[in-house]
Structure 1
Amino acid sequence: MSGKVYPLKGNQAHAVDPERTVWLSASAGTGKTQVLSARVLRLLLQPDVQPSEILCLTFTKAGAAEMAVRVNEVLAGWVRMPDGDLAADLKAIGADYGPGAIERARTLFASVLDCPGGGLRIDTIHAFAQWLLSAFPEEAGLTPGTRAMEDRERSLLAREVLAEMLVDAQEQGDEETLNALADLSLKKGPDAVEAWLMTCAQAREAWFGAGAWVPPFGDRLNQLLGLPADASEADIAALCADDRFDTVSLRMCMTAQAGWKAKTGQDTASAIGQWLAASPHERVERLSDLQSALFTQKGEPRSLKQMLGIDPAYPDYIARVGERITEVAQFKALLGLAKWLLPALTLGRKFALAWEDAKNREGLIDFDDQIRRASDLLNRSELADWIRYKLDRRFDHILVDEAQDTNEAQWKIIDALTGDFFAGQGQHDGKMRTLFVVGDYKQAIFRFQGTSPENFAKARERVRKALAGAVANAQEARGGATARELLDLRLGQSFRTAQQVLTFVDEAIAAIGHGRFGLSQEPEKHFGDDRPGLVALWQPVSSEADDAGEDESEQSWISSAERRMAGKIARQVKAWLDHGFPLVKGRHRNAGPGDIMVLVRKRRDLAGLIVARLYAAGVPVAGVDRLRLGAPLAVKDLMAALRFAAQPLDDLNLANLLVSPLIGWSQQDLLDHGWREDGRVRLWAHLRASSDPFVRATLAQLGELLARADYEPPQALLHWILVGSWQGRRKLVARLGREANDPIDELLNAAFAYASALTPSLQGFIQWFDAGEGELKREAGASSDLVRVMTVHGSKGLQAPIVILADAAGNPDTSPPRGLELEEILPGGAGRSVPLPGLSGDEKVGRIAEAEAAVAAAEREEHWRLLYVAMTRAEEALFIGGALGSREDEPAPDSWHAQLRPIFTGEPIEDRVWGQRWEIGALPPPVAGGSRAVSGEAPFALPEWAVRPVGPEPRPPRPLAPSSLGEDTAPMPPMPPGTMEAAARRGTLIHALLERLPELEQDARAAAARQWLARRAADLDEGACEEMARAALAVLDAPDWAEIFSPSALAEVPLAATVEGRVIAGTADRLLVTASRVMVVDFKTAARPPRSLTQIPIATLRQMAAYVAALEAIYPGREVEAAVLYTQTPELFALPAALLAEHKAHLSPAQ
């Protein structure tokens, strides 16, 4: 709306009726925010409605702010709007537009401003709960001064609680607690233990209230797992007794096996006979032998074909035997699991109780506490009426946005607020009270935050029944007022997306199946704008290194396919912006950077890499939508300065600070002035002893920091680093670009937040900062002319003309189900949900397997709903692509890419970036007059300089990795089977020896080589290992090259230099630097090494030429010698300078 009122159409107009309770299911892009705002306006226009009686609850702070701005802008505009225009606005939203209505509309803005609190109450559910608790702290059981807990406070408090619990256990001799913690740590690891304890702390309903779990609860745990309360080892043996195991079927299997004269049949029959002859306790021990004799590892009967020929009823016998074996195995596994879970749950309960005590002691509550306490406050009958009476406002009209993402605890608050809307006094006071709920089951994607879309459907049914009861008793309950049934409406007309894209969305839902989205029935079709639209599917990107432009040495922790995917996206976006991508919404124009949104399913390294590739390509791009505050380089550099001020003797931190933009040393400066013969001397002490003017200047700079650290709090010290004599902000932005400003500001905010909550100290701030992982969230609205890269979750509520799904080929099965818990089943329905720690596959049996399957099914449904949200972000063009796994030839069966591929029935189109693509629909015709991007919202023409984005800060040329300088295209003759693998392994082993042995004394190398090969190549015979050891030692002892393998030489040395305008970056395997010359050697593990200098591949010569050129720039005036060592032979080739000079031409920037 944004100050302008648009006419409502169809169900939009019905939904804003101020006298009806409405349940609105609104598909993506159908204008639900406009409907919400219009409904608020219609309510305000009612003579008997006061602004203080309206409550709007939204899912996000951004949504609340947007709605408040829309409503206030409209009301402000109505104050002095001409009567004719104001009447048109009122008519557009379906309101009365007579003189009386116009007069009232002009007064609404002042009425809203006079409302208690300064305006309409438009809040998130958490903000409303916090407001409610602050109004009634005593009634809610809160101590005065209680406040919401920050993430870092949560982490620090959790560690404090655990430490106190350990100290108490040691002082009191509580071996049970100590042993439980030790066993859990050994089994799962320290981080998993901390996560488990916090999970128990959040599972509050299991430990508090009537029916809570109170030790000893071993019997209750057995029942939870599906075992008898008094289950024991004796019960396992009882299951193997003749009266329980179905030995009749087992004997029939033995008879059939004995009838098969083959050795396998006789052995199986013998195994069965031995098992039957054993006692029940012995049978338990031999159960795995019986199982392996009768079944394969996949659980399939062995020799079934032969058994059918002997006894056609054999499948029935073996099936019953298999059921009994599974029953015994599961019982045994669950009993063992119960023994392990009992101390884990006991420990978790103890931590949860201590956690609650600590929060109360410190006066802190978390988000879950806010919702729980607010719900209790409104649902306790002895206080609810009094609290309502004491409230300075009474809510008669409640609006709920994004209701599909409201969890069960939050619905309890809404139910309490609307409890008497349709019954009791609320129906007898002669005043109509309404509830308006809007949501969309298809967009329920926040299960990981505890929400469940099933709550949406259950709440609708509760409201429907309540209203049906009110209708049945209307005459008596309303005193003549008319009660109306629930108005259940749907919105399917999109006002932002082209019809072609929405048609594809409908086809996708049909192809995947509406049931897999969690929908009970097929959804209504989507209707959009009649304008050109395009949906394209890109060929998935494999890990084949066929792009010479990709630098495989960077981001090696990310798969090569994802690196190539990021590079292809950057080239594609760059091509769109350079050559023009026509759009028609608003007006016919070419797309700009702000028209493009790149979406990923999860916040992983791929998103950051896409941002980096776009930035390198010169595309204006915003950073990822969320990042950990400690991750940006600017924050790391500033924290390095603070860490130095707190502890100057930390050598690694000081080295990081010296080479940061704050100090400005180069790596060579650090090597020249920081190297010391005695490694026991601290770097700080070494620098302080230097008389070099360059070092003394740095010491003066660092000394000023140390002097200020003695008396300034952290926030003041940070401020001085940024704007004082250090000029830190200017230096950081100059090096890292303008995007460094946001994390710098957030770090300052964090310092001020720390100082306001705790007694400030430098060491305290560092500890507080390290304790948590505060997130930096970028506002990714459509106003900035930058490409946006974000998760699908982060894109909720946003849209863009062009949307790219960057990881649609991802396998949803790679992540285990989250939040596994068991629902306790007790007579009377008094059971609790009990959390479970991370379990192995063998431990997930019985009820646990069923619970995991249910969680996995719910997450799979959300996987498909996430696809719906992603597709409906696109206004005019949707592009779908993804990277394959390292061992995958095609997308995973349940990936978005695989499920959408059958919809594209046309022939593939050759694509220079993607190889192939498939298309549905078409783009509008090209824009006349060139390819320059034009804003679609400019009200009048502006000069080009006014609309052209500033673009990124200049960066150094893209680094050139020497290893990427071309490929050898000459075909190689085939090698005998197995020879290639053996040769490659031999080369790799010798390579490893050449890396490790030079660090040892010469007389110790032989023994060390044999010992290392005995461990790493234990499957090879002694002769082969001895031969490889001799080969490696022969190279190390060669007189001509002994110096390069001496302890004075360096191994795995990173190199970087600018040569003829091109940055060369790589890693040398061995490097020796003397006063007059530099020697560099690179190891090659080629399975077919050359036999002479003339056979060395061109790519290798280009690589070594790049190394020589870089070293000549780094060490001017020194002779640089290069050699290549082929480790498979092994043989060392010295490369003449004249030969390498021929290949330096390939280092030009055009390469």
Structure 2
Amino acid sequence: HEFAELARDPAYAHDNLYVDTRPARQLSEEIERTESVTPRDYNRMEGALVGLGRNRDFQRARKGTGKLYRPGVLRETVNHAREELQTALTRFEADANADLAARLHEEFRGCIESYEQAKAHAGALDFLDLLLKARDLVKRDEGVRQSFQHRFKRIFVDEFQDTDPLQAEILLLLGADDPSISDWSLVRPVPGKLFIVGDPKQSIYRFRRADVGIYQHVYQILEAAGAKRVRLRTSFRARPNIQQVVNTAFEPLMSGDPTALQANYVKLEPFRSDPEDQPSVVVLPVPKPYAIQRIANTRIEESLPDAVGAFVGWLIGESGWTVTERAPSKADAQPNVTSLHLASGDSRGAARGKGVPASDALRGGRGPTIQTKTEEHVVPIQARHICLLFRRFVSYENDVTRPYVDALEARGIPHLLVGGRSFHNRSEIETLRAALAAIEWPDDELSVFATLRGTLFAFGDEELLECRQRFGRFHPFRLPKDAPPHLSAIVDALSLLQTLHRSRNHVPVATTISTLLGSTRAHVRFALEHGGEQVLANVLHVAELARRYEADGGISFRGFIDELRDQADDGTAGEAPILEEGSDGVRLMTVHKAKGLEFPVVILADMTAKLQAAAASRYVDPLRQVCAIRLAGCSPFDLVQHEPDELQRDRAEGVRVAYVAATRARDLLVIPAVGDEEREGWIEPMNRAIYPPLEDRRQQIPAP
């Protein structure tokens, strides 16, 4: 009300500040008018105040011109009051949401209880249940704990940076030297019993409760018990120039900040050599990044995919560049042991075939490290050597990979979408879904027509039009009689749909799908399409989904169709199948899917994806057993209080995601960039390595 009074009656009726602050005056008048006749409705007022705080005109109110807003009132005073009110409204919304979050916690308790009852009724456990029950068994029963401690003499753990608190607790309880201790933070591991390998720079699973803090906490426990730490610095994977770029980019960013839970950087040391006749790192310019006046993410998203597709086509068809393929040595059954290192301080005792960048190895005692010999073969770059890495696959319900897939398909380049969420948007899946609908609902002429015209039968428009005009609507139970020879195939197709309809609820759903595919010989047709291996695998995956549906209790053909439609509508469809490693085609993968893998050529895609979310999504304190989660835009007080720290940790993990992406490359790393200015985004950490220092830009420096 005070602001509304201050901001009334400007000297100029069309003053920009007056116009943009009108929502505040309107709300003040509405509150006074309403409360003059009815008691105050606090819920309604809360909603109105939150709405004012989110009003874009009020948030971004123009300051106007002139020193005086009206006689006796400085414009600066009104602007300052608006800023104070906006700050108060933002704080009020956070407090209101925190209160609402607590209420939602109670409201949703019934959902959790129903879920637990459903699991108990089905006799089922989810993955978290398995961890909790295993932990509880080991923690609460000293006899069980002692039995397992005696049974397991040595415990080896790889990728330890991905360990969550429950797994770490189980691990330390199994490795303890005193069965009577049930608190994992107090145990003392048996010397020589635990051997863990991990790289905190690759810790990217905070959403699964695994973070650098757990890694460091366990490390401190083991170190206090006398464990030896061995740093593996030599990277057997990447070319030295790739390592140099990675070191330059990430060494300043990974400082071991304890608040952000960032890892300490361990510099990669080379093992391989660089080729003399081709680069190991390429910066790919975005061809059309500008909107009308400035660089815009929308323009980058429109032009980058085709540039990537063109570059991939050039790499495969014109560059003449080569990469190395790794293959085991000729010894079929036995690894060719070339060296044996005792853990007496040799920091380079890494398995050469492992190909893992600098990691930490923690030993509870001394033991050997074995190196196995591998052979490298130089071959021309082929589609299967290339991987496009994404930070995300979906953005605001849009398939981020689609423009890249289109760019590859336009050039006839085979590709494999690994773990994509666009499974049900693929044309072959839509074709099969329409056919299943035609089988279930013969009266649905649109589905029947789509099936006849689609990939399964592929009848032409002229044939279908003639058949429709001669015999009326398409219906599997109203077969045309005396059809001419050139239309007999359509009659046969309708007859097949009729047969499948009659048997659909008497045989497994997968059998109906297999019969449809076999009768139409669709396997060959799908395999001959662009990216045929992936297309065929997707189609066969529908049959696998049918088997899972029935294994989970599904009993009807219609129920399976409904499930497919629900998955397509809500975007929670199961992932497309992953094909075998030897399959030809450019891989399109998320960084999380690619973790632990390597590729001769890596291209970082979708450069406009954010490095981190704008708001923290959760706060977890394992010691207090508190998990505060943002739900429906509402953050509990614990999350609000710790949000600055959580944002730092999210950003630190974003840096590690970029590190994991860059270190997947063996021979060639391709980084997209806008030459005129550095851009924020998920590959932002690479900017330091690919852009010259600010003071050296726009300088005429001869090319080497």
Identity %: 23
Alignment partners' CA distance in 1, 2:625 and 2:496: 65
User: Which of 251, 268, 281 is the aligned partner of 1:535?
Assistant: 281
Residue in structure 2 matched with residue 819 of structure 1 by the alignment: 617
1:619-698 maps to which residues of 2 (within 5 A)?
Answer: 619-627=413-421, 629-674=423-468, 683-684=474-475, 688=479, 692-693=483-484, 694=487, 695-698=490-493
Mapped pair 1:598 → 2:358: no
Q: Which residue of 2 aligns with 1:858?
A: 649
**What are the Cα deviations for residues 848-876 of structure 1, in whole angstroms up to 9, with x where unaligned?**
55554444333222221111111111222
Q: 1:775 aligns with which of 575, 593, 597?
A: 575
**Cα deviation, residue 576, structure 1:** 2.4
- Choose from 502, 505, 522 the match for 1:728: 522
1:800 maps to which residue?
599
Residue by residue, what CA displacement relative to the aligned partner does 1:704-734 show, whole Å, maximum 9, x if unpaired?
A: 22233253221222222233x3333234334
What one-letter code is carried by the residue in structure 2 that aligns with 1:507?
Answer: T
Where does residue 12 of structure 1 map in the other structure? none
Asked whether the equivalents of residues 810 and 883 of structure 1 are also in contact (C-alpha less than 8 Å), the reply is: no
Instruction: State the distance in 2 between where 1:870 and 1:430 align.
Output: 35
Task: Specify the code of the residue in structure 1 equivalent to 2:384.
Answer: G
1:121-144 deviations in Å (ceiling 9; x for gaps): xxxxxxxxxxxxxxxxxxxxxxxx
Post-superposition CA distance 1:104-154 (Å, at most 9, x none): xxxxxxxxxxxxxxxxxxxxxxxxxxxxxxxxxxxxxxxxxxxxxxxxxxx
- Which residue matches 1:16? none
The structure with higher relative contact order (CA 8 Å, sep 6+) is: 2
User: Residue 717 of structure 1 is aligned with which of 512, 530, 539?
Assistant: 512
Does the 8 A contact of 2:475 with 2:494 survive in 1? no
- Residues 490-549 of structure 1: CA deviation (Å, up to 9, x unaligned): 11111121212111111112465646895657523211123335222122232679xxxx
CA contact (8 A) 2:534 2:579 kept: no
* Long gaps (5+) in structure 1: 1-239, 241-246, 468-484, 546-557, 908-917, 922-1151
**Contact conserved, 1:719 with 1:748, CA < 8 A, in 2?**
yes
Judged with a 3 Å threshold, the aligned counterparts in structure 2 of structure 1 residues 323 and 818 are, in CA distance, closer, same or farther, namely: closer
Question: Superposition RMSD on alpha carbons, in Å?
Answer: 5.2
Secondary structure (helix, strand or coil) at the match of 2:603 reads strand
Aligned residue number for residue 378 of structure 1? 138
Bigger Rg, structure 1 or 2: 1
Instruction: Say whether the 8 Å CA contact 1:598–1:789 is kept in structure 2.
Output: yes
**TM norm structure 2:** 0.69
Counterpart in 2 of 1:349?
109
1:749 aligns with 2:509: no
| Counterparts of 2:383 and 2:87, CA distance in 1 | 61
Instruction: Identify if the C-alpha distance between structure 1 residues 852 and 676 changes in structure 2 by more than 3 Å, giving closer, same or farther.
Output: farther
Aligned residues: 589
Q: Say if 1:324 and 1:705 are closer, same or farther in 2 by CA, change over 3 A.
A: closer
Q: Which residue identity is paired with 1:523?
A: Y
User: Kindly tell me: are residues 672 and 448 of structure 1, through their superposed partners in 2, closer, same or farther at Cα, counting changes over 3 Å?
Assistant: farther
Q: Which residue pairs with 1:576 in the alignment?
A: 315
> 2:267 is matched with which residue: 525, 528, 546?
525
Cα offset, 1:323, TM superposition? 10
Indicate the SS of the match to 1:538: strand
Partner of residue 352, structure 2:
none
Shift of 1:392: 11
**Is contact 1:597–1:802 with CA below 8 Å preserved after alignment?**
yes
Tell me whether 1:788 sits opposite 2:587 in the alignment: yes
Question: For each residue in 1:57-78, what CA deviation from the matched residue of structure 2 results, as whole angstroms up to 9, or x when unmatched?
Answer: xxxxxxxxxxxxxxxxxxxxxx
Q: What does residue 762 of structure 1 align with? A: 557
Aligned residue for 1:788, secondary structure, equals strand
Distance 2:98 2:238 in 1: 54
Aligned with 1:445: secondary structure?
coil
Does the 8 Å CA contact 2:611/2:684 hold for their aligned counterparts? no
Give the whole-Å Cα distance in 2 for the aligned partners of 1:351 and 1:859. 29
Aligned position for 1:214: none
Give distance in 2, aligned partners of 1:306 and 1:696. Answer: 84
In the alignment, structure 1 residue 490 sits paired with structure 2 residue 285 = no
2:264 pairs with 1:464: no
The Cα offsets for residues 742-761 of structure 1, whole Å up to 9 and x where unpaired, read as 22332232333333442643
Say which of 675, 698, 701 aligns to 2:496. Answer: 701
1:249-648 alignment runs, 5 A limit: 297=59, 329=89, 332-333=92-93, 336-337=96-97, 340-341=100-101, 344-380=104-140, 383=141, 385-388=142-145, 394-420=151-177, 433-465=192-224, 467=225, 485-510=226-251, 512=253, 514=255, 518=260, 523-528=265-270, 529-532=272-275, 534-542=280-288, 561-562=300-301, 564-579=303-318, 580-583=320-323, 586=376, 589-604=379-394, 605-627=399-421, 629-648=423-442
User: Which residue type is aligned with residue 819 of structure 1?
Assistant: S
CA gap 1:387/1:562 in 2 versus in 1, 3 angstroms: same
Aligned mates of 2:604, 2:514 — CA distance in 1: 41
**1:496 is paired with a residue of what secondary structure?**
coil
User: Which amino acid is the alignment partner of residue 594 of structure 2?
Assistant: S
Give 1:973-992 correspondences, 5 Å limit: none
Q: d(CA) in 1 for partners of 2:607 and 2:163?
A: 27
| SS of the residue 1:497 aligns to | coil
Mapped contact 2:384–2:586 kept (Cα < 8 A) = yes
- Aligned CA distance change for structure 1 residues 302 and 857 (closer, same or farther; 3 Å): farther
- Summarize the Cα distance change of 1:389–1:662 in structure 2 as closer, same or farther, 3 Å threshold: same
TM score, norm. by length of structure 1: 0.44
Distance 1:675 1:623, change over 3 A: farther
Asked if the contact 1:516/1:861 (under 8 Å) is kept, the reply is: no
Say whether the 8 Å CA contact 1:287–1:325 is kept in structure 2.
no
Paired residue type of 2:170? I
Q: Secondary structure at the match of 2:108?
A: helix
Instruction: Sort the Cα spacing of 1:733 and 1:920 in 2 relative to 1 into closer, same or farther, 3 A.
Output: farther
Deviations 1:874-908 (A, max 9, x none): 22221111689xxxx8563355258516644499x
Contact kept, 8 Å, 1:444 with 1:452, in 2: the verdict is yes
Q: Structure 2 stretches of 5 or more lacking a match?
A: 292-296, 326-375, 568-572, 695-700
**Alpha-carbon distance in structure 2 between the residues aligned to 1:318 and 1:897:** 35
Q: 1:851 to 1:644 in 2, by over 3 A?
A: farther
Structure 2 CA distance for aligned equivalents of residues 350 and 486 of structure 1: 46
Q: Give the drift of 1:435.
A: 0.9
Q: 1:304 to 1:326 in 2, by over 3 A?
A: farther
| Aligned-partner residue type, residue 161 of structure 2 | Q
More helix, by proportion = 1
The answer on whether the counterparts of 2:234 and 2:269 sit within 8 Å (CA) in structure 1 is yes
**Aligned equivalents of 1:410 and 1:920: distance in 2?**
53
What are the residue-to-residue correspondences of 1:1103-1114 with 2, within 5 Å?
none
Q: Matches of 1:727 and 1:787 in 2, distance apart? A: 27
1:838 is paired with a residue whose SS is coil
Q: d(CA) in 2 for partners of 1:674 and 1:860?
A: 61
- The Cα offsets for residues 647-674 of structure 1, whole Å up to 9 and x where unpaired, read as 2223332232112222222344444445
Question: For the Cα contact (< 8 Å) 2:158–2:197, is it kept in 1?
Answer: yes
Matches within 5 A, 1:935-950: none
Corresponding letter in the other structure for 2:283: L
CA distance in 2, matches of 1:671, 1:559: 42
Question: What letter corresponds to residue 454 of structure 2 in structure 1?
Answer: S
Structure 1 contact 511–903 (Cα < 8 Å) conserved: no
Cα distance in 1 for partners of 2:263, 2:189 equals 39
